[in-house]
């Protein structure tokens, strides 16, 4: 083999000019008579394998995981308490599954949320005197459950017989709950509960008020609830002098209250900065007012102040047996009601429209209320009331 010729050929195919290796002669890269051949592209780096989808940590604890048996008979009080304890420790929500989950004693939610799947998740009270759910702490909630159970034939006063009581709770929520009967109130506040919402719920057949806001509660919103057959007031704001302060900053809007067996559809008996707006109130079977603002000596309440009753629809309210109008405002004389505005309500099928009496009502405005079919549309004997008759424009409730 001719090694010098082979070496020269190798040098001519080199990619750079070489001198010393090719006998000192300059050698250029040359591909005469051939097309340029590009260097091969580097192999692509394989894409990394996709990361596995993380498994979401559970955020609910089911009462059945702690021994509950939802057959309508077994007393699940202990299992529910264990689930609540675990939920509080983990920061989770207690789940009531579909079924009839019976319990025999008060359920206590201290900053814990309890939810279900809707009306199919039933908490069934075995003892109407111990049927309550107590809310306390910050952020407690009850939602998407139905509260049913054994019925009491006698009205009770104890908190333990109220379906849901907020005890000093803050930022609490009661949403989409069905309450089928209560030995006392359906929902009640106590011990200065604040920043609470009662929404989208159905309450029927209570022996006391359906919703009772009292004991210095503040900043409570009550919206889009349906109340039927209440044994006393449908929605009540009440401030007793023994409580040491008034209920304040309450808004009740877009509610429907029907067929009260006793009491008034909506009342303010001592309260400050209360707005009742766009509610439909119908058929008071006790011939009581549908909207009632008062100071009552018999219950030793505070007076009411800065109350607005606006754009509500009232029908079949009041009556001659009680002397109530569909709307009634008065003071028993212990304290004045001050700054009360009654505006653009629609009143029908009631013997008396708006009745206002007692000299201890101050700064009262009655403006553009439409009253149809009443024997006495307006019975106003309090002096100094600012009155503007209805002429035109929207009045009353509009479905949200």
In the prediction, which pLDDT does 49 show? Answer: 63
Does residue 22 belong to any structural domain of this protein? Answer: no
The Cα diameter of the chain in Å comes to 135
How many distinct structural domains can be found in the chain? 1
How far is 219 from 194, CA to CA, in rounded Å? Answer: 6
How far is 29 from 46, CA to CA, in rounded Å? Answer: 35
Does residue 70 belong to any structural domain of this protein? Answer: no
In the prediction, which pLDDT does 28 show? Answer: 40
Calculate the alpha carbon distances from 148 to 164, 167, 203 in Å. Answer: 12, 21, 11
3-state secondary structure of 9: helix
Q: How far apart are the first and last CA of the chain?
A: 102
| E strand segments, 48-193 | 60-62, 93-95, 99-103, 107-110, 113-115, 121-125, 133-136, 141-143, 146-149, 164-167, 173-175, 178-182, 187-190
Low-confidence ranges of the chain (pLDDT < 70): 1-57
Does residue 69 belong to any structural domain of this protein? Answer: no
Helices and strands in the chain, H and E counts: 2, 35
Does residue 367 belong to any structural domain of this protein? Answer: yes
Does residue 35 belong to any structural domain of this protein? Answer: no
* Helix (H) or strand (E) segment spanning residue 87: helix 77-90
In the prediction, which pLDDT does 38 show? Answer: 58
Does residue 324 belong to any structural domain of this protein? Answer: yes
How far is 236 from 276, CA to CA, in rounded Å? Answer: 11
Q: Which residues pair with 251 in a beta bridge?
A: 221, 275
Calculate the alpha carbon distances from 9 to 3, 5, 6, 14, 28 in Å. Answer: 10, 6, 5, 9, 12
Q: Which residues pair with 348 in a beta bridge?
A: 315, 372
In the prediction, which pLDDT does 266 show? Answer: 99
Do residues 348 and 383 touch, judged by C-beta distance below 8 A?
no
Closest C-alpha to 182, from 225, 151, 228: 151
Q: Where are the alpha helices (DSSP H) in 280-357?
A: none
How far is 344 from 310, CA to CA, in rounded Å? Answer: 6
CATH at 182: 2.160.20.10
Q: Domain range spanning residue 288?
A: 109-388
In the prediction, which pLDDT does 48 show? Answer: 64
Q: Say how far residue 301 (Cα) sits from the centre of its chain.
A: 27
How do 337-343 and 304-310 pair as beta strands?
A: parallel
Do residues 98 and 119 touch, judged by C-beta distance below 8 A?
no
Does residue 376 belong to any structural domain of this protein? Answer: yes
Per-residue pLDDT of 297-311, as tens digits, reads: 999 999 999 999 999
Predicted TM-score (pTM) of this structure: 0.86
Does residue 372 belong to any structural domain of this protein? Answer: yes
Closest C-alpha to 390, from 328, 339, 347, 338: 347
Residue 387: half-sphere exposure toward Cβ, Cα within 13 Å: 14
């Amino acid at each position: 083999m001719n090694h010098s010729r082979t070496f020269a050929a190798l040098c001519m195919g080199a990619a750079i000019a070489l001198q010393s290796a090719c006998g000192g002669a300059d050698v250029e890269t040359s591909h005469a008579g051939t097309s340029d051949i590009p260097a091969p592209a580097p192999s692509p780096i394989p894409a990394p394998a996709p990361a596995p989808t993380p498994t979401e940590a559970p955020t609910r604890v089911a009462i059945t995981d702690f021994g509950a048996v939802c057959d309508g008979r077994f007393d699940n009080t202990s299992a529910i308490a264990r689930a609540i304890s675990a939920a509080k420790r983990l920061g989770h929500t207690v789940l009531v599954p579909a079924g009839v989950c019976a319990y025999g004693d008060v359920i206590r939610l201290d900053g814990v949320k309890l939810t279900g799947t809707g009306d199919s998740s039933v908490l069934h009270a075995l003892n109407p005197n111990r049927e309550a759910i107590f809310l306390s702490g910050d952020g407690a909630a009850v939602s998407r459950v139905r509260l049913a159970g054994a019925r009491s034939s006698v009205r009770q006063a104890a908190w333990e017989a109220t379906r849901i009581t907020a005890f000093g709770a803050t930022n609490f929520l009661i949403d989409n709950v069905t309450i089928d009967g209560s030995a006392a109130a359906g929902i009640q506040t106590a011990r200065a509960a604040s920043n609470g919402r009662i929404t989208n719920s159905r309450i029927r057949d209570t022996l006391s008020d359906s919703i009772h806001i009292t004991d210095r509660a503040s900043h409570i919103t009550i919206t889009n609830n349906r109340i039927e057959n209440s044994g006393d007031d449908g929605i009540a704001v009440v401030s007793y002098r023994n409580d040491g302060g008034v209920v304040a900053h309450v808004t009740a809007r877009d509610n429907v209250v029907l067929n009260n067996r006793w009491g008034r559809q909506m009342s303010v008996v001592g309260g400050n900065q209360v707005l009742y707006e766009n509610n439909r109130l119908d058929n008071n079977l006790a011939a009581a007012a549908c909207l009632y603002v008062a100071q009552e000596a018999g219950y030793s309440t505070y007076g009411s102040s800065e109350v607005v009753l606006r754009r509500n629809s009232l029908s079949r309210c009041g009556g001659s047996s009680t002397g109530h109008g569909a709307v009634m405002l008065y003071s028993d004389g212990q304290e004045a009601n001050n700054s009360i505005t009654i505006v653009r309500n629609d009143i029908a099928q009631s013997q008396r429209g708006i009745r206002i009496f007692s000299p201890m009502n101050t700064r009262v405005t009655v403006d553009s209320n439409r009253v149809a079919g009443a024997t006495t549309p307006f019975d106003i004997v309090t002096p100094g009331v600012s009155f503007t008759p209805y002429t035109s424009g929207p009045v009353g409730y509009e479905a949200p």
